[in-house]
Amino acid sequence: MRAVRFAAFGDPADVLAIEDLPARAPGPGQVLVRMRVRPINPSDLFAIRGQYGILPRLPATAGMEGVGVVEALGDGVTQLQVGQLVVPLSGGGTWQEYLVADADALLPVPPGLDEREAAMLLVNPTTAWLLLHEVLRVEPGAWVLQNAANSAVGRFVIQLSRHAGFRTINVVRRRDVIDDCWPAAGMLELWHTVILGNLTDW
C-alpha cells in the first residue's frame, strides 16, 4: 500500500516521499477505507512544514481530508456497508491508498453529493463556520466583509451567511474570479452580496 509520508518537517518538495506500507486489517469497531479523492489544502502544507497549530507525530502520513469507499468491516460494525462512500473525520493520514478508521469517525456521504465535493467537507466548511459563529459571533442581519471571497473558505462564508441571515460584502482582486462567487451567493439572493474588485485590474 502506497502512502505519502514525511519523517521531518520542512518544505513539502524536500520532505515528502512515497512509501510502501503493509496493509492493515480493520479491528473490532473499525473499517478499512480505500481512499478515492484527497485534496491538497494550505493547512496540509503548513502541517508538513511544521507550522500548523496541531502537528502529527513523526513519521506521519500527510493529508487532512478526503473521501473513500468502505472495503471491509471489523467485528461489531453495523452502521456502515461495504461499498459505501465515507469521509474520514480523524483529520489526518488521508494521503494513502487505504486507511483504517474507527467506524464512529466516518461520515457517510449523502446520496447525490459528488465525491470531489465530499472530499472537501472537513477543512474549509468547518473553518468558515467557526469564523462566523465562534470567532466573530455574527448576529442575523449583520454585515460580513471578507477578502479573497473566491477562495474555498470564502465561498463557504457566503453560503453559510445566507443560511444564517448574514449579509456579505465579498472582495476579489481579479475580474476573472468574480463568477466563482455567484453560485455561492445564490442567483435569487444577490441583493445582499456585493462583489468588488481591484480597480487597477478593470
Contact 158, 131 (CB under 8 A): no
* The one catalytic residue among 9, 52, 98, 129: 52
Concerning whether 98 is annotated as a catalytic residue, the answer is no
Contact 31, 104 (CB under 8 A): no
19 φ, ψ to 5°?
A: -120, 150
Q: Is 63 left (phi over 0), alpha (psi -120 to 50) or beta?
A: left
Q: Is 102 left (phi over 0), alpha (psi -120 to 50) or beta?
A: beta
Question: Annotated catalytic sites, by residue?
Answer: 52
